[in-house]
A = this chain, B = another copy of it.
Amino acid sequence: MSKDDRGSWQLRVPTPFDLNVTALAGGVGAARFLRGLVRVIDPARLCVIVNTGDDEEFFGLHVSPDLDTITYTLAGAIDQNKGWGLAQETFRCLEALGRYYPETWFGLGDADLATHLFRTQQLRHGKSLSEVTATLARTWGVQSTLLPMSNNPVRTVVHTDAGALPFQEYFVKGRGEGQVERVEFRGLSSAFPTPGVCEAIATADLLILPPSNPIVSIGPILALPGVREALRATPAPVVAVSPLIAGKPVKGPADRLLSGLGIEVSVAGVAGLYQDFLDVFVIDTQDASQRGRLEQQGLTVIATDTIMSDMEKSLALAQVVVEHGQKKRRTRTE
């Protein structure tokens, strides 16, 4: 293992798996998985369908947190400690915005702002979010295809006992406090998957759901017309990695969202949300005792270390996922 110019770990993998892979992804957890995945498969044969329900306008700029986290991570430019934003970032502009705006709680770094300025200007010039996303990925040297789940605005709104809050306000400003009552995907009824999303699911040799919040990261993608159906219909196996370890998410409010919605806060609870299309469920060794219950749901279960604290662990997890995924022959019938 050696460190490349950008300071990210280049691991020498003898023979990459020969597969077209499509992943459905949220932010930090998914990005940490994907940085390993692109080292066990050909990155150019990976398509990532990314949640945009967390997108928000700040200071007149269109911010796509999950898209940026994945782009920056695959580019080796992410702040490794935080998991989001650019490495060596400064926050001078955000500080100055405090002079004009009452609230500056969303961490927009100075270099990161360039991305939001560019995206916003391109959108105003009539480009679609998927076109801008492709340009951004290319600019950062990302070889994989990144598809925003939809070119139509879908906004995740978390209804709590303290009122309805757009996701960033609930999670970043409000720190995920308040009793969750329901989650709404505003705009969903007039939204469609980005062209290519259902095709990328239908034609992949392997489908992966990296560890992402099942309610607010994977949920909006699955709610788009045709996506869930495509996952059910594809002949390729679907592998998910649990975002919960011993009933807790590594990051984010998945536990509070699940329990608020009356869903068991466990690997079984998560599996239940995917039961109509999931084939293989990768859980942490800490949850190995749940294996029997999951197998009863008809799943192939793999228990392994899923905490991706460094690149080596991301790579090892990706290897397990792809290895077991490609072995799996799908037997389910609609």
> Using a CB–CB distance below 8 Å, which chain A residues touch chain B?
59-61, 90, 92-93, 95-97, 99-101, 110-115, 117-118, 120-121, 124, 136, 139-140
Residues from chain B with a CB closer than 8 A to the CB of A101 are: 118
- On whether the beta carbons of A110 and B92 are closer than 8 Å, the reply is yes
| Nearest CB of chain B from residue A127's CB, rounded to whole Å | 12
Residues from chain B with a CB closer than 8 A to the CB of A113 are: 93, 96, 113
Top 5 A-B pairs, shortest CB-CB distance: A60-B121, A96-B114, A92-B110, A96-B111, A100-B118
Residues from chain B with a CB closer than 8 A to the CB of A120 are: 60
Residues from chain B with a CB closer than 8 A to the CB of A97 are: 114, 117-118
A61, A124, A139: which has the most chain B beta carbons within 10 Å? Answer: A61
| Nearest CB of chain B from residue A333's CB, rounded to whole Å | 48
Closest-by-CB residue of B relative to A135 is B100
Chain A interface mostly helix, strand, loop or mixed?
helix
Question: How long is the Cα–Cα vector from A42 to B102 in the complex, in angstroms?
Answer: 31
Say yes or no: A124-B60 contact (C-beta < 8 A), given A100-B114, A113-B113, A118-B100: yes
- On whether the beta carbons of A111 and B92 are closer than 8 Å, the reply is yes
- On whether the beta carbons of B95 and A111 are closer than 8 Å, the reply is yes
Residues from chain B with a CB closer than 8 A to the CB of A121 are: 59-60
Say yes or no: A59-B90 contact (C-beta < 8 A), given A100-B139, A110-B96, A139-B100: no
- On whether the beta carbons of A59 and B117 are closer than 8 Å, the reply is yes
Closest-by-CB residue of B relative to A125 is B60
| Nearest CB of chain B from residue A213's CB, rounded to whole Å | 29
- On whether the beta carbons of B93 and A110 are closer than 8 Å, the reply is yes
Known pairs A96-B112, A99-B139, A100-B136. 12 more at Cβ < 8 A?
A59-B118, A59-B121, A60-B117, A60-B121, A95-B111, A96-B111, A96-B113, A96-B115, A97-B118, A99-B140, A100-B114, A113-B113
